[in-house]
Chain A
Amino acid sequence: MSLLEVRGLRAGYGAADVLHGIDLTVDEGEVAVVLGANGAGKTTTMKALAGMLPRRGEVRLGGAELGTRPDRVVAAGMSLVPQGRGTLATLSVLDNLHVGAATRKDRKGIAEDVERWFDTFPVLRERSGQSAGLLSGGEQQMLAVARALMSRPQLLLCDEPSLGLAPIVVQGLFATLGAINAEQGTALLVVEQNAELALDLAHRVHLLEVGEVAATGTAEDFRRDDAVRRAYLGF
């Protein structure tokens, strides 16, 4: 059984649906990547999964229906790194991490996790007392990832983590995401425009096209299939 099972997901803004019935799965410990052009519905998918948008269809995490209350989704074990990082700008870096633990009550475990992510992202420890809004874009993205991991999710949703970052920073970030997946066993569902980079990280790829899943396969399938590569990936 897959960790995340999505069947017939429909969602949108107001009366218009952007997603017309999406099916996708993420296995335990797997890295799944959602590729697609602008307007394909990638961010809408993430928002709908996280409970930020009204939606129809089935979303199951570990077999249980997730519902559409964001805090319950987090408590159930799925948390979102929002597009554009969602930095809580006037809060300190440390307080940002504490907000990530909003659904947890175990003080000791929270303190341990803060240390763990400070070890993973040492720059965050250096700046723990500063307002998060003063961090650079790359540091804010690290903070957003660390914050989302503070809820100890089984599945981490990352909505375009590369947005607005220098290529070299993105490489480092993706390496860290890969390491987190390998060491902690946290499954990842990553939305990404940078197809080449995403394929390096991915075990499984879902290709989104105007609100529908156009193709699903392993990263190797996608690299090998010249037609798909030329049409969608651009290399």
Chain B
Amino acid sequence: MTAVADRPTTTPAPRGRPVAPGRVLVRGSAAHRGLQVAGLLLVVALLVWASTWPLFRMGQLTNVFVLAIAIAGLNLVTGYTGLLSIGHSAFFGLGAYTTGVLVVQYGFDAMLTVPVAIGFCFVAGLLVGLPSLRIHGLYLALVTLAVGVAFPELVRRFDDLTGGAAGLVIRARLLTPPEWTGISRAQRGIWLFWVSAIALVLVLLLVRNLTRSRAGLAMRAVRDHELAAAAQGVHVARVKILTFGLSAAITGLAGALFAMYVGALAPDGSFTLLKSIELVTGLVLGGAATLLGPVVGAVAVVFLPYLTSLVAPGPVSGIAFGVLLIALVFLMPEGVVGRAQIALRRVVTVVDADHPALARTARDPGGPPEPDGQQPGPPPSTDEDQPR
């Protein structure tokens, strides 16, 4: 046993490929900020351009935005935290019916119902999240499935409030855009287009900041290894329940906007399990646990069926859609955005200013806030009071 003691204790690992300068973008540096601003301007330009389209096209885009918000909500709980929910149609419906009922039965202003819908769905999400503390994987999916199945039944049961199976019509008069916009009632599609576009941008900003925070780290830790996360001091129960609540609130926001978009709600229309499956499909296609995956997924879920029906008319189009889905999942299991990110990483890497790997390469002069004159390299070890 003693003969081996002076040999290296482990096979030296191949050095990580050094990050070539020029292909590294430091987060927060001028170049990185510039690219971000350019991206934002591009999005705004595209939106302005789209708002000159015919109302029908704008309506389709509004539908995409609303769906993207709903999928972004699902992404928090299923993508980032790894809790599969096939009950998000219920939150989508709860948001929609909160808006519908408050506007029709209680004469609320449509926009004022949005925060109420978000609040209701947040609470409902917390409750649905409770079983996730004890139940895992497919069993939890089954619980959420039950919620999804129950929702249309509840709508039918409380028919004096919701209109039951006959549906609930929100008259266009009740959805008139506010006067300061100068948009007429007939043109309210333009108003909703902008409202949902802005809501989507806000949701994406929220998701971005959340998933990059300590809370986001905790979410992904719970997804990767719940036991290990708990052993490191992550409060697993709080992470799961709050994520469920927030996820439901965002999907509920989408529901509220959807109610204004369609103007007529029916329990069997857009709030069945099929909606849940549509959301999951969009999430997987676009890329789970990616920021923009929900947007790409929503585009795919809305437009792919059109495309396949152009190529293969009639009942064959459903089969073509199915084949396309299988092909996409087979070729890009990470989703479109996930795959694009992997491809992009070959060209440029974005790292934090305090990333330890930067110590090996030349520090970006504009990047880190404290360009100290110290030689880059490891500081002496175990020196507790080493000034930094």
Contact = CB atoms under 8 A, between A and B. Distances in A.
A55 interface: no
B221 A99 contact: yes
Interface in B226-258: 227-236
B15 interface: yes
A90 interface: yes
A91 B232 CA distance: 14
14 contacts: A86-B228, A88-B225, A88-B229, A100-B233, A102-B235, A103-B233, A123-B13, A130-B16, A136-B11, A139-B10, A147-B232, A167-B4, A169-B9, A175-B9
Contact of A118 (B221, B228, B231, B378): B378
A16 to B, nearest CB: 19
Q: State the majority secondary structure of interface residues on B.
A: loop
A41 interface: no
B375 interface: no
Nearest to B12: A123
Q: How large is the interface on A (under 10, 10 to 19, 20 to 34, 35 or more residues)?
A: 35 or more
A25 interface: no
Contacts of A64: none
B153 interface: no
B224 A90 contact: yes
B231 A79 contact: yes
Interface of B: 4-5, 7, 9-11, 13, 15-16, 214, 217-218, 220-221, 223-225, 227-236, 349, 351, 354-357, 378-382, 386, 388
Nearest to A173: B9
A116 B381 contact: yes
Interface stretch (A7-15, A29-37, A67-75, A202-210): A67-75
A91 B224 contact: yes
Contacts of B16: 126-127, 129-130
A226 interface: no
Contacts of B381: 116, 119-120
Nearest to A90: B224
A71 B233 contact: yes
Interface string A69-96: 0110111000111100111111100110
Contacts of B220: 88, 90-91, 95
Interface of A: 50-52, 70-71, 73-75, 79-82, 85-91, 94-95, 98-100, 102-103, 108, 111-112, 114-116, 118-120, 122-123, 125-130, 136, 138-139, 144, 147-148, 150-151, 167-169, 171-173, 175, 183-184
A119 B231 contact: no
A96 to B, nearest CB: 8
A129 B357 contact: yes
B4 A168 contact: yes
B4 A100 contact: no
Contact of B354 (A111, A125, A171): A111
Contacts of A73: 233
A86 B227 contact: yes
A12 B199 CA distance: 50
Contacts of A100: 232-233
Contacts of A144: 228
Nearest to A95: B217
B378 A115 contact: yes
B232 A52 contact: no
Contacts of B224: 87-91
A150 B231 CA distance: 12
B231 A86 contact: yes
B5 A82 contact: no
Contacts of A128: 355-357
Given A74-B233, A103-B233, A123-B13, A94 B356 contact: yes
A148 to B, nearest CB: 7
Nearest to A99: B221
B227 A52 contact: yes
B356 A118 contact: yes
Kindly name the residue among B13, B217, B225 whose own CB sees the greatest number of chain A CB atoms within 10 A: B225
Contacts of A79: 231-233
Contact of A89 (B225, B355, B378): B225
A130 B223 CA distance: 18
Nearest to A46: B231
Contact of A183 (B221, B354, B357, B382): B382
Contacts of B234: 71, 99, 102
Contacts of B218: 99, 102
B237 to A, nearest CB: 9
Contacts of A120: 381
A209 B215 CA distance: 41
Contact of A102 (B214, B223, B382): B214
A150 B11 CA distance: 25
A99 B379 contact: no
Nearest to B4: A168
A81 B228 CA distance: 8
A9 B354 CA distance: 44
A43 to B, nearest CB: 12
B225 A168 contact: no
Nearest to B382: A183
Given A126-B13, A129-B351, A74 B232 contact: yes
Contact of A71 (B230, B386, B388): B230
B290 to A, nearest CB: 12
Contacts of B221: 88, 91, 99, 102
A86 to B, nearest CB: 3
> What are the 6 A-B residue pairs with the smallest beta carbon separation, nearest first?
A172-B9, A86-B228, A74-B233, A103-B233, A119-B381, A88-B224
